[in-house]
C-alpha cells in the first residue's frame, strides 16, 4: 500500500522536469499548497543538464534545412594560371581573375568563432632585393594574410605569415646580391587562426591576400585554397 | 512554449472550482506537449557528451565521433617516425614523363566510416619530409632541378573501390643533389645546398564526399628520389554532417 508523501520526479532517466507532486491517499486533506505545487513548479522549470540523458540528442533531432551550427565556405584554385604580385600592400590573390575569397554574408545568431585556414604552393619567384633591412615584411620576405570584411565596411587583417625568399632566416644581410643564394621554389605556405565575433555581426567576406617586402621582388602562387568555418556557439 | 502561467490557484477553505481545475490540467497538458523554444532551455544544459558518442583511444591519442553525431574528428598528435619511401628508378622521370607512382606512407592514413551520404570533410596535416642524396649523379650549383618528390593526399572510397589524389594538396621535397636535364621542364627546387631536401609541409583539403561507407585518407608520395622519409606531425580528419 502506498503511503502519502511529497514526491519529486527528478530522475533524469524517467522524467524531463523536476515537478513536485503530492501523491494523495484516502483521508488526506487536499491542502492548497500541494494542489498548487505541480503547476507552480511547471512554471519555474527549465530543461537543463539533469533532465537529459547522455546522447539523448543526435543528428536526427536537427532540422538540417534550418539554421546550421557549422557554416562551411571553401575556395580553391589549382594554380594552372599562376598569381604573381610585386605589390608591397596586401592584394587579394587572384588566379586569372578568379579571386581567392568566400562571401558568407552571414548574420551571426550567437557569439561565433570563425575559423580560417589557407594553404598553398608558391612557384618560382623573382628575387632582386635580398637585403633584409626595412620593409614590412622585410625586403627579403613575402607575406600571406587573411582579410575579413564584416558589418559592411569594417575590416580586419589577421594571421600574418611571413616567408623568406631563400634558405636563410629573415634577419640575414647578405650584402651584394651576387653573394646571396637562390630562391626557394615550390614552397608550401599555410595559415590557420580562430577569430571570435559577437552575436549580430554580419560576416561579409574573407579574402586570402599576399604582398612582398620590396617591389623589385615578385611572388608567384600556384595552387591554393581557403577554408572558413563559422561556428555558432 | 515559453512561459507557463497557471490559470487557477487553489486556496485552503475554498471549494475547488471544477472549471479552474480542468483549466489547470488542460493548460499543463498543452504546455508540456508544445514545442520547446530556446527560452525553455537553461544555459549550458547540454554537454558535449550529450551530442556525440565520442570515443577516445589512449594508445594513439585519437578521438572519433561519427555515428549519429553532429560532426566527427579523428586526429593524431603523436608523430610517426620516419616512414620511408623509395624508388629504384634513380632517374628524373621514373622512365616516362607524367607517369605517377603513388606510394602510401605507412601509418599516415585514416579510415573513416560515414553514415550519411553528404558529408563534408576537412583534412589538415603537418609533415616533415626529407630525401637523401641521389647516388646516380651529382651536379651542384644553381638549383637541384628535377628530382622532385611530390606529396599529396590520397582519397579512397573503399566500398566503391575508387581511388584518387587531391590536387588541393600538392607539395614537394627535392633531392639534395641530382642530375640536371635542361630539356625537361620539371620542378626546380631553386635553392642551393641541402635546404630543399628537408621541408615542412602543411596541407588542407576540403570536399563534399558523396556516399555512405568507408573512406580512407592517406599521405602518398610520388618519388623520383632514391630514398626519403616523411614524419607526420599532425594529421586531422574532420567530418561535418551539417
B82 plus B147 within the same structural domain: yes
A190 plus A151 within the same structural domain: yes
Question: Measured between CA atoms, how close is B93 to chain A, in angstroms?
Answer: 18
Measured between CB atoms, which of A52, A69, A167 is closest to B191?
A: A167
Q: Are the beta carbons of A49 and B47 separated by less than 8 Å?
A: yes
Which chain A residues are Cβ-neighbours of B50 within 8 angstroms? 52-57
Confidence at residue A113, expressed as pLDDT on a 0 to 100 scale: 92
* CB A91 within 8 Å of CB A211: yes
CA B36 to chain centre: 35
B22 plus B141 within the same structural domain: no
pLDDT at B31 over 60: yes
Q: In total, how many domains does chain B have? A: 2
| A57 located within any domain | no
B153 plus B69 within the same structural domain: yes
Q: Which helix (H) or strand (E) holds B24?
A: helix B18-33
| A58 located within any domain | no
A129 plus A45 within the same structural domain: no
| A214 located within any domain | yes
CA-nearest residue to A38 within chain B is: B28
A35 plus A123 within the same structural domain: no
Q: In total, how many domains does chain A have? A: 2
DSSP state of A61: G
Q: Which helix (H) or strand (E) holds B19?
A: helix B18-33
B117 plus B81 within the same structural domain: yes
B30 plus B56 within the same structural domain: no
A4 at interface of B, judged by CB pairs closer than 8 A: no
A129 plus A15 within the same structural domain: no
Whole-number Å distance between alpha carbons of A92 and A148 = 11
What confidence tens digit (pLDDT) does each residue in A26-45 have?
888 888 998 998 888 888 77
Q: Are the beta carbons of B5 and A229 separated by less than 8 Å?
A: no
B28 plus B112 within the same structural domain: no
**For the purposes of burial, counting CB atoms within 10 Å of the CB of B194, is it exposed (0-12), middle (13-18) or buried (19 or more)?**
middle
B20 plus B93 within the same structural domain: no
Question: Measured between CA atoms, how close is A15 to chain B, in angstroms?
Answer: 12
Confidence at residue B193, expressed as pLDDT on a 0 to 100 scale: 44
B113 plus B29 within the same structural domain: no
The SS3 assignment for B49 reads helix
Q: Are the beta carbons of B69 and A59 separated by less than 8 Å?
A: yes
Position B9 confidence tier, pLDDT thresholds 50, 70, 90: very high
A145 plus A193 within the same structural domain: yes
A178 plus A120 within the same structural domain: yes
Q: Are the beta carbons of A57 and B51 separated by less than 8 Å?
A: yes
Which chain A residues in 66-95 lie under 8 Å from chain B, judged by CB atoms? 68-70, 72, 74, 76, 78
Confidence at residue A21, expressed as pLDDT on a 0 to 100 scale: 78
Tell me the average pLDDT across B202-226. 82
Which domain does B173 fall in, by range?
46-240
A139 plus A186 within the same structural domain: yes
pLDDT at B194 over 50: no
Confidence at residue B137, expressed as pLDDT on a 0 to 100 scale: 40
A18 plus A105 within the same structural domain: no
Give backbone dihedrals phi and psi of B167, rounded to 5 degrees, phi first.
Answer: -70, -15
With a pLDDT cut of 90, the percent of chain B lying above it is: 10
Q: Are the beta carbons of A49 and B46 separated by less than 8 Å?
A: yes
pLDDT at B143 over 80: no
| A63 located within any domain | no
pLDDT at B42 over 50: yes
Tell me the average pLDDT across B58-83. 62
| A61 located within any domain | no
Paired strand residues for A88: none
Helices (H), B43-158: 48-51
Q: Are the beta carbons of B202 and A70 separated by less than 8 Å?
A: no
- Would the ipTM clear 0.90, i.e. be above it? no
Tell me the average pLDDT across B123-149. 62
Confidence at residue A10, expressed as pLDDT on a 0 to 100 scale: 42
The x, y and z cell numbers of residue A123, run together, are: 612557384
Confidence at residue A42, expressed as pLDDT on a 0 to 100 scale: 82
Looking up residue A141, the CATH number of its domain turns out to be 2.60.120.760
Confidence at residue A146, expressed as pLDDT on a 0 to 100 scale: 97
Question: Measured between CA atoms, how close is A121 to chain B, in angstroms?
Answer: 7
Which chain A residues in 195-224 lie under 8 Å from chain B, judged by CB atoms? 223
Q: Are the beta carbons of B242 and A124 separated by less than 8 Å?
A: no
| A76 located within any domain | yes
A155 plus A197 within the same structural domain: yes
Confidence at residue B48, expressed as pLDDT on a 0 to 100 scale: 55
B90 plus B143 within the same structural domain: yes
Helices (H), chain A: 32-44
The low-confidence residues of chain A, meaning pLDDT below 50, are 1-4, 6-16, 169-170, 176-179
B180 plus B208 within the same structural domain: yes
DSSP state of A97: T
| A176 located within any domain | yes
Confidence at residue B222, expressed as pLDDT on a 0 to 100 scale: 82
The pairing of beta strand B118-131 with beta strand B227-240:
antiparallel
What confidence tens digit (pLDDT) does each residue in B86-120 have?
765 544 444 445 567 788 877 678 888 777 777 88
| A56 located within any domain | no
Which domain does A38 fall in, by range?
5-51
B89 plus B148 within the same structural domain: yes
B158 plus B53 within the same structural domain: yes
Residue with the bigger pLDDT between A28 and B177: it is A28
Amino acid at each position: 500500500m502506498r503511503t502519502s508523501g511529497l514526491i519529486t520526479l527528478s530522475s533524469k532517466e524517467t522524467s524531463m522536469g523536476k515537478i513536485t507532486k503530492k501523491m494523495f491517499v484516502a483521508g488526506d486533506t487536499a491542502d492548497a499548497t500541494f494542489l498548487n505545487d505541480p503547476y507552480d513548479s511547471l512554471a519555474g522549470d527549465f530543461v537543463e543538464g539533469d533532465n537529459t540523458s547522455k546522447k539523448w540528442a543526435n543528428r536526427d533531432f536537427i532540422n538540417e534545412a534550418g539554421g546550421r551550427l557549422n557554416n562551411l565556405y571553401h575556395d580553391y584554385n589549382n594554380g594552372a594560371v599562376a598569381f604573381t604580385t610585386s605589390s608591397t600592400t596586401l592584394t587579394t590573390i587572384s588566379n586569372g581573375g578568379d579571386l581567392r575569397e568566400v562571401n558568407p554574408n552571414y548574420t551571426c545568431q550567437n557569439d561565433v568563432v570563425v575559423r580560417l585556414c589557407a594553404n598553398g604552393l608558391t612557384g618560382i619567384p623573382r628575387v632582386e632585393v635580398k637585403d633584409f633591412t626595412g620593409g614590412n615584411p622585410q625586403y627579403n620576405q613575402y607575406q600571406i594574410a587573411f582579410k575579413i570584411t564584416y558589418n559592411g565596411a569594417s575590416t580586419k587583417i589577421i594571421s600574418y605569415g611571413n616567408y623568406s625568399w631563400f634558405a636563410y632566416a629573415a634577419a640575414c644581410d647578405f650584402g651584394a646580391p651576387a653573394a646571396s643564394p637562390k630562391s626557394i621554389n615550390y614552397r608550401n605556405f599555410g595559415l590557420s587562426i580562430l577569430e571570435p565575433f559577437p552575436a549580430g555581426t554580419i560576416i561579409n567576406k574573407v579574402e586570402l591576400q599576399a604582398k612582398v617586402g620590396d617591389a623589385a621582388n615578385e611572388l608567384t602562387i600556384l595552387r591554393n585554397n581557403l577554408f572558413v568555418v563559422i561556428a555558432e556557439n | 512554449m515559453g512561459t507557463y502561467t497557471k490559470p487557477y490557484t487553489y486556496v485552503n477553505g475554498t471549494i475547488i472550482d471544477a472549471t479552474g481545475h480542468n483549466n489547470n490540467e488542460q493548460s499543463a497538458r498543452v504546455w508540456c506537449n508544445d514545442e520547446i523554444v530556446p527560452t525553455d532551455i537553461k544555459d549550458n544544459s547540454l554537454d558535449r557528451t550529450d551530442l556525440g558518442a565520442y570515443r577516445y583511444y589512449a594508445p594513439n591519442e585519437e578521438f572519433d565521433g561519427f555515428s549519429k553525431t553532429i560532426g566527427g574528428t579523428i586526429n593524431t598528435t603523436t608523430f610517426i617516425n620516419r616512414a620511408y619511401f623509395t624508388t629504384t628508378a634513380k632517374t628524373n622521370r621514373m622512365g616516362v614523363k607524367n607517369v605517377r607512382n603513388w606510394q602510401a606512407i605507412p601509418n599516415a592514413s585514416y579510415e573513416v566510416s560515414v553514415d550519411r551520404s553528404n558529408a563534408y570533410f576537412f583534412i589538415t596535416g603537418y609533415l616533415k619530409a626529407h630525401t637523401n642524396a641521389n647516388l646516380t649523379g651529382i651536379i651542384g650549383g644553381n638549383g637541384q632541378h628535377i628530382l622532385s618528390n611530390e606529396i599529396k593526399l590520397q582519397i579512397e572510397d573503399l566500398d566503391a573501390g575508387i581511388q584518387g589524389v587531391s590536387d588541393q594538396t600538392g607539395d614537394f621535397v627535392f633531392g639534395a643533389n641530382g642530375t640536371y636535364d635542361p630539356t625537361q621542364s620539371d620542378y626546380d627546387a631553386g635553392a642551393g645546398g641541402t635546404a630543399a631536401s628537408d621541408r615542412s609541409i602543411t596541407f588542407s583539403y576540403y570536399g563534399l564526399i558523396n556516399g555512405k561507407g568507408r573512406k580512407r585518407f592517406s599521405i602518398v608520395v610520388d618519388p623520383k628520389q632514391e630514398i626519403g622519409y616523411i614524419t607526420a606531425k599532425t594529421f586531422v580528419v574532420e567530418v561535418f554532417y551539417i
